[in-house]
Structure 1
Amino acid sequence: MAEANPMLSLQALTFGAGHAALEHGYAAIGAGETVFDLGGVKSADSTGVALMLAWQRKAHSVGQQLRFTNVPKNVCALAKLYGVESLLPGA
């Protein structure tokens, strides 16, 4: 795992930033990251839940399990509303 979590540089988990965030997460998984610190995220919507699920699927496909830290509160609330919080450790 890298010393500085590359996910800290993400500022948005929104529809407009979704594709870039998805690729950023995939690259982090490819580099061996297993903890995604989302403390740098300043804006998020339901896209954040979809991104976290996609990252978790990608990690599972390479035999890893992701854990999320500092998830924005609204993303946690949406994950609970959608009934997927158990799929997103740390959310």
Structure 2
Amino acid sequence: MSDARLPARLTTAEAASVLQELRSALAAEPGDAVTLDAGGLRSFDSAAVALLLELQRELRRTGRTLRVTQWPPRLRDLVTAYGVQELLPA
């Protein structure tokens, strides 16, 4: 199992660099399941949802799964508003 953490800020301005950091960190750690802690996320926009969906797609291609923990309520609300809650279960 691999563990990673989202930063405090994840907006369109940070999304590309955060995704690259997560890719690098997760590539270095073996395991089928990835647990991503979103509890520290304080400032974010729809780019956070897009990043989670992209990360999940990439992991699935390699046979890995993504589990997000410590969802901030506003992030869960965004996921629901975009209708992707089934793709990113809590």
Match of 1:11 in 2: 8
Is the aligned partner of 1:22 residue 2:44? no
Q: Which has the higher strand share?
A: 2
Q: In structure 1, the residue corresponding to 2:17 is in which secondary structure?
A: helix
Q: How does 1:52-91 map to 2 (within 5 A)?
A: 52-90=52-90
Using structure 1 for the length normalisation, give the TM-score. 0.83
> Aligned with 1:16: secondary structure?
helix
Q: Quick one: distance in 1 between partners of 2:26 and 2:88?
A: 15
State the shift of 1:11 in Å: 1.6
Which amino acid letter does the alignment assign opposite residue 89 of structure 1? P
Give aligned pairs, total: 87
Name the aligned partner's letter for residue 39 of structure 2. Answer: G
- Alignment check: 8 A CA contact 2:46 2:78 kept: yes
Structure 1 residue 75: deviation in Å? 1.6
What's the RMSD between the two structures over aligned residues? 1.7
Gaps of 5+ in 1: none
**Stretches of 4+ aligned residues off by more than 6 angstroms:** none
Report deviation, 1:40. Answer: 1.6
Higher share of residues assigned helix: 1
Question: How far off its partner does 1:29 sit?
Answer: 3.0
